[in-house]
Amino acid sequence: MAYPVCKKFPLMHQNLCEIDVNYCNGTASWKALAAGLTSTNPSLSETVDTTPYLDGGGFSESEVTGAQMMVTCTGHRVVGDAAQDYIFSKDLSLGEGRYSQVRYTDSEGNVVAQKVTIANIALPNGDAGAKGAISFELHFAGKPVKTPASTAPALVATIVAGTASGTTKFTATPAEGNSLGYLLTASDVGDPNANSSVQFIAYTSGANIQATAGQYLNMFELDANNRVVKFLSQVLASGDIAA
């Protein structure tokens, strides 16, 4: 029986939108726009010229002559969340007081970044028994800078037999603020991109992992947003499994 090729449908929660909450004050401090938000919708507000010409037989043709990228965010107010607190501290600001910078990373690790204006801030609102509904827009200034995804660099890790029968383990040292994860698979999953969103099981260096010879041990270093920083995959040999 023939089975259809698996399709990959990226989920919206696998995209990451971050805002600099220290804009123009030195080193950027990126905070995820995530807590309390139900949607972050990127769009291109396009200028479309539809001038009809005499050779068109009375019909128009479309030409995109301009655009502005925007991200519209909606959800509920979460007091104490760094990104939201920063946004709503701008409610009475005008001009340069509404400036910041944003980077938007999709599930595959492609990054779009640019200076933005925080616009159309809707303060918490709604019924007495409801959470405070909010919305705001991030208007990009000029053409965004797009950095295409690239393969994650190699993780330095050592695999040895575990301390219990049928287990393996690996040791690795993540950078400060990062963490480790792993995933066992029956076949090679290929190298993920840096900054991409992946499935993983949280891991502490040197902890036992129940496994069998022939499985692929996929090891990840992940940043604070659980995006891939480094990666290593290795087929487990019988010597990597405790008897």
Tens digit of pLDDT at every position of the chain (243 positions): 455 566 778 889 999 999 999 999 999 999 999 999 999 999 999 999 999 999 999 999 999 999 999 999 999 999 999 999 999 999 999 999 999 999 999 999 999 999 999 999 999 999 999 999 999 999 999 999 999 999 999 999 999 999 999 999 999 999 999 999 999 999 999 999 999 999 999 999 999 999 999 999 999 999 999 999 999 999 999 999 999
The answer on 126 and 32 residing in a single domain is yes
Domain count across the chain: 2
The answer on 195 and 166 residing in a single domain is yes
The answer on 188 and 136 residing in a single domain is no
Are the C-beta atoms of 44 and 64 separated by less than 8 Å?
no
Pair of tokens at residue 140 = 């990009």
Residue 153 resides in a domain: no
Whole-prediction pTM: 0.87
The answer on 201 and 86 residing in a single domain is no
Residue 4 resides in a domain: no
The answer on 162 and 143 residing in a single domain is no
Q: Which domain holds residue 204?
A: 158-240
Pair of tokens at residue 51 = 């001038």
Nearest to 109 by CA among 184, 198, 188, 232: 198
Distances (CA, A) of 84 to 77, 87, 118, 133, 147: 7, 5, 12, 12, 26
The answer on 172 and 235 residing in a single domain is yes
CA gap 197, 135 in Å, rounded: 25
Pair of tokens at residue 82 = 């760094």
